[in-house]
Structure 1
Amino acid sequence: MADDVMVAVEGRRIKLSNLDKVFYPGADFTKGEVINYYSRIAPALLPHLAERPMTFRRFPDGVTKAGFFEKNASRHAPSWVRTVTIETPGSSTGAESLDFAVLGDLASLVWAANLAGLELHVPQWTIGARGAARRPDRLVFDLDPGEPATIVECCEVALRLREVLADDGLTAVAKTSGSKGMQLYAAVTTTSAEQTSDYAKRLAEQLEAELPRLVVSRMAKDLRRHKVFIDWSQNNPNKTTIAPYSLRARPAPTVSTPVTWDEVAACRSVDDLTFIADEVLDRVDDHGDLFEVLLTKGPRLPRG
């Protein structure tokens, strides 16, 4: 195993460890390659992490070993990593508040990757200058296929959902989950923390009524076989979704990858929309950030 290496990143000194450790044995993809990927994808990724409290899913022994979610960053973070204290009533840890990291710069992102924070999960809201949660600025629909359905069926649902959102004046963008499903997002302006959940639930129920053989809006497992579950509940302010361009803890270093609507329409197999780290870097070179529209203020969310 390689010795520790001290590096300077934007003026910050970071000790990187175990760079030769294989994190994805199926692809012989090492911790050093994880850090390299996050360093290179940072220009596209960081704007989508800015001002959003981070929940890590860490895999110190690689993806073949059990990982764990971590929200409380204060015990690991150097003083230059920004943290924000957020109330967490009902937390599984029993803590009334936790100190979340906010990854706003390359040095902080490299620090997180060195902690084996393979997966980066963020909420659909940002924090203000003093750490208070703002109202949601993103709407999300998490499309989860029930076997034997796959991302192919998710694409069919996504195309119809895009049309419904467009009718309401919202511009949808899509990404793979990096696992088996996909997500649709739209930038929105809201008046309450509950507004996105209420709106998303209404649309999910609308599509279930319209496409009953393909769509389900309820979470019960016995309803989901052969169908695509539109998980509208991910808009709950207490929940997070995988960030665009984040790695996933799968056998290969797959990435939650923004895709074009032409790619969604053309999808005929799982392989059509499965991308690993090196491919995503090439895609950003070719397409730029397909999620850039989310970085501008969205229209007001329609009321029910």
Structure 2
Amino acid sequence: MPADRFRVEVEGRTLELSNLDKVLYPQAGFTKGEVIDYYTRIAPVLLPHLADRALTRIRYPNGVDGNSFFEKNAPAATPSWVRTENLPAPGSSKGRETIDYVVADDLPTLVWLANLAALELHTPQWKVGEHPDLMVVDLDPGAPASLKQCCQVALLLRDRLAADGVDAYPKTSGKKGMQLSCPIAGTQSSDDVSGYARRIAQELEREHPKLIVSKMAKNLRPSKIFIDWSQNNAAKTTVAPYSLRAQPVPSVSAPLTWDEVAAGAAGKRPSARPYTAGEVLKRVDEHGDLLAPLLDLGPALPER
């Protein structure tokens, strides 16, 4: 076996790891070995959020400064023990009717993906064969708006959703924005969920027109926060909690407390700088999984 490859046992599965010294985040000097180490250590809180969900990966074989590619289909050399599910592929850019998706239910699969430089992990709001059990809204700041304004909108959204009996849980995107995730009953279609999110976004836009926009057009977004309700479309995915992001440093889509969001709305932490892998591991040691409530079903969303 070449010197840059070696076999490891992970929960009874044999994996061949390679090029562990390869730097995938040049600005931070963060290597593939460190990526694998992060995903191994974060697995206890990450895997429950990936379980039973078709996984879209964004791979960076030559690091975050190199070319990347989206990967939905299981690659040709997928080990036989990796779970795959043949599912409809709405919106497939290659015109496929179905795709053999990878489902990351266990640590060996997560390590295998990390070894493929699958830095970013994205999931839909539904589990295999089921209706959506999550509603997600993406908060995207139009410059010069920043995470501070995202936090302000997140608080408005939290309070509005609470009036309908819907709990919301915040996380950073790992880039410049935020997401709110809400556990729901798993009894309504993606169209129903998306329609409800759109109505709430439009309502808040009417109430706060200088801060919020609900339309996707780029020319409407400067200085405002776009509430992207379309994340609930059946063809859409959202970056998973605890996933790395392809930024100059190994930033993470990190769960937040509502106290932190309130502090951010006041111009304090969270700052414009995303949390990094090492910081998120420390946060999990301190807080556990702040998004654990998403693993249980919530209420049905109100109809029109």
Q: What RMSD, in angstroms, separates the aligned Cα atoms of the two structures?
A: 1.3
Deviating 4+ runs (over 2 angstroms): 190-193, 269-273
Q: Check if 1:219 corresponds to 2:220.
A: no
Instruction: Give yes or no for contact 2:5–2:19 (8 Å, CA) kept in 1.
Output: yes
Moved more, 81-90 or 178-187: 81-90
In structure 1, the residue matched to 2:88 is 87
SS at match of 1:199: helix
TM-score by length of 2: 0.96
1:94 shift after superposition: 2.3
Report 1:15-164 matches (<5 A).
15-127=16-128, 133-164=129-160
Partner SS, residue 258 of structure 1: coil
Partner of 1:130: none
Determine the structure 2 residue equivalent to 1:260: 257
SS at match of 1:299: coil
Do structure 1's residue 171 and structure 2's residue 167 form an aligned pair?
Answer: yes
Cα shift at 1:2: 6.2
Match of residue 194 from structure 1: 191
TM-score normalized by the length of structure 1? 0.96
User: How many residues get paired?
Assistant: 299
Q: How big is the shift at 1:3?
A: 1.0
1:192 CA drift (Å): 2.2
Contact between 2:90 and 2:234, CA under 8 Å: does it hold in 1?
no
Q: Which moved more, 1:275-284 or 1:73-82?
A: 73-82
Which amino acid in 1 is paired with 2:300?
R
**Contact 1:2/1:18 (CA < 8 Å) preserved in 2?**
no
Distance 2:271 2:147 in 1: 9
1:250-281 CA distance string (max 9 Å, x none): 00000000000000010126636620000000
**CA, structure 1 residues 12+192, in 2 after alignment: closer, same or farther (shift >3 Å)?**
same
Distance 2:149 2:189 in 1: 32
Name 2:286's counterpart in structure 1.
286
- 1:2 and 1:19 in contact (8 A); partners too: no
Mapped contact 2:91–2:235 kept (Cα < 8 A): no
- Which residue, out of 226, 229, 243, partners 2:226? 229
Q: CA deviation at 1:59?
A: 0.2
User: 1:244 deviation in Å?
Assistant: 0.2
In structure 1, stretches of 5+ residues that fail to align are 128-132
Asked if 2 retains the 8 angstrom alpha-carbon contact of 1:74 and 1:100, the reply is no
Residue 110 of structure 2 aligns to a residue whose secondary structure is helix
CA distance in 1, matches of 2:18, 2:178: 33
1:271 maps to: 271
CA-to-partner distance for each residue in 1:40-71, whole Å, 9 max, x for gaps? Answer: 00000000000000000000000001211000
Instruction: Determine if contact 1:19/1:30 at 8 Å carries over to the other structure.
Output: yes
Structure 2 residue runs without a partner (length 5+): none
Structure 1 residues 247 and 177, CA gap change in structure 2 (3 angstroms): same
8 Å Cα contact 2:142-2:226 kept in structure 1: yes
